[in-house]
Amino acid sequence: MKKQLKFLFTLCVLVWHFPAWALSSEQATVDAIQKNYESVRTFQATFEQKAFVKMINRTEVTRGNVQIKKPGKMKWVYNSPDPQILIIDKKSLWLYSPEDKEATKMPIKNVYSSNTPALFLAGQGKLTDTFNVEQVLTEKDKFIVVFTPKEVQSSLSRLKLKTNKNNYQITGATVYDRIGNVTEIRFRAIRTNEEIPESVFNFEVPAGVEVQDFTPSH
């Protein structure tokens, strides 16, 4: 489940609830980001994710498209280089690999317990309960908000959230861990508040696909 956990840690930034931060000079910027975020009900985009893996000293690049519907419904289609589909609804996470004809299902609460930022996928927490806001940086066409973990023993060392300078739309994020791994994701062709059918987030197991089900049996 390494792919989806890495994914969740990076993309939780799209669905948190922004609190009011005490950043005097940067407060206007933060307030504008919050206002934009609160107006977004659905989010669709293409993406490119770059993951630098320290152990093998290599950067892995994946591309695809994403659909998000608050609260906490997401569908990620990885087109290259390893085709996969990841779907999250309010109860379960599915990861489907068409080439391997395998699908994995796990309860979403397991993702929450192993990855605190994933709580924000369902609007069940505030990022600043776990992180401190260090600074707001201004670049030519974007703002970058830098976070550090409050918990000393956290595996994460830093999180950067990127937004468009003109409209404060979230456009990407970068996650750094304490052993040197770095995951960066960038969004393009962003569309917000377009209707997304509920059926998008329902996964039907194709014929001939082996399922590993880690959800409790009833």
Question: Residues 19-33: pLDDT tens digits?
Answer: 444 445 677 777 777
The answer, yes or no, to whether the previous bond of 71 is cis (omega within 30 of 0) is: yes
Query: Across all residues in the chain, what is the average pLDDT?
Result: 79
Q: How confident is the model at residue 11 (pLDDT cuts 50, 70, 90)?
A: very low
Q: Would you mind telling me the total number of residues written for the chain in this entry?
A: 218
Of 2-6, 44-48, 129-133, the range with the lowest mean pLDDT is: 2-6
The answer, yes or no, to whether the previous bond of 81 is cis (omega within 30 of 0) is: yes
* The two structure tokens encoding residue 124: 């069940």
Please say if the pLDDT value at position 176 is more than 60: yes
Q: What is the rounded average pLDDT of the residues 131-149? A: 86
Other beta carbons within 10 angstroms of residue 24's beta carbon come to: 7
Which pLDDT value is given to residue 29?
A: 76
Please say if the pLDDT value at position 130 is more than 80: no
* The two structure tokens encoding residue 27: 């407060």
Q: How confident is the model at residue 2 (pLDDT cuts 50, 70, 90)?
A: very low
Which pLDDT value is given to residue 32?
A: 79
Q: Which of these, 193, 199, 197, lies nearest to 44 by C-alpha position?
A: 193
What separation in angstroms does the CA of 81 have from each of 74, 86, 156? 21, 15, 26
C-beta separation of 66 from 173 below 8 A: no
Q: What is the rounded average pLDDT of the residues 189-210? A: 94
Q: How confident is the model at residue 111 (pLDDT cuts 50, 70, 90)?
A: low
Q: How confident is the model at residue 59 (pLDDT cuts 50, 70, 90)?
A: very high
Q: What are 115-126's pLDDT values in tens digits?
A: 444 444 334 445
Alpha-helix runs per DSSP H in the chain: 2-11, 27-38, 108-114
Alpha carbons 155 and 76: distance in angstroms, whole number: 25
Which pLDDT value is given to residue 118?
A: 44
| Single-letter amino acid, residue 201 | F
Q: Is the dihedral of CA 158, 164, 167, 170 positive or negative?
A: negative
Please say if the pLDDT value at position 209 is more than 90: yes
* The two structure tokens encoding residue 71: 């609260």
Q: How confident is the model at residue 16 (pLDDT cuts 50, 70, 90)?
A: very low
Which pLDDT value is given to residue 12?
A: 47
* The two structure tokens encoding residue 174: 């970068």
Report the predicted TM-score, pTM, of the whole model to 2 decimal places: 0.79
Backbone region of residue 81 per phi and psi (left: phi > 0; alpha: psi in -120 to 50; beta: other values): alpha
Q: Which of these, 123, 121, 124, 37, lies nearest to 87 by C-alpha position?
A: 121
Alpha carbons 51 and 185: distance in angstroms, whole number: 9
Which pLDDT value is given to residue 152?
A: 77
In the chain, the domains with their CATH numbers are 2-208 (2.50.20.10)
Which pLDDT value is given to residue 6?
A: 45
Alpha carbons 78 and 65: distance in angstroms, whole number: 7
* The two structure tokens encoding residue 12: 């939780």
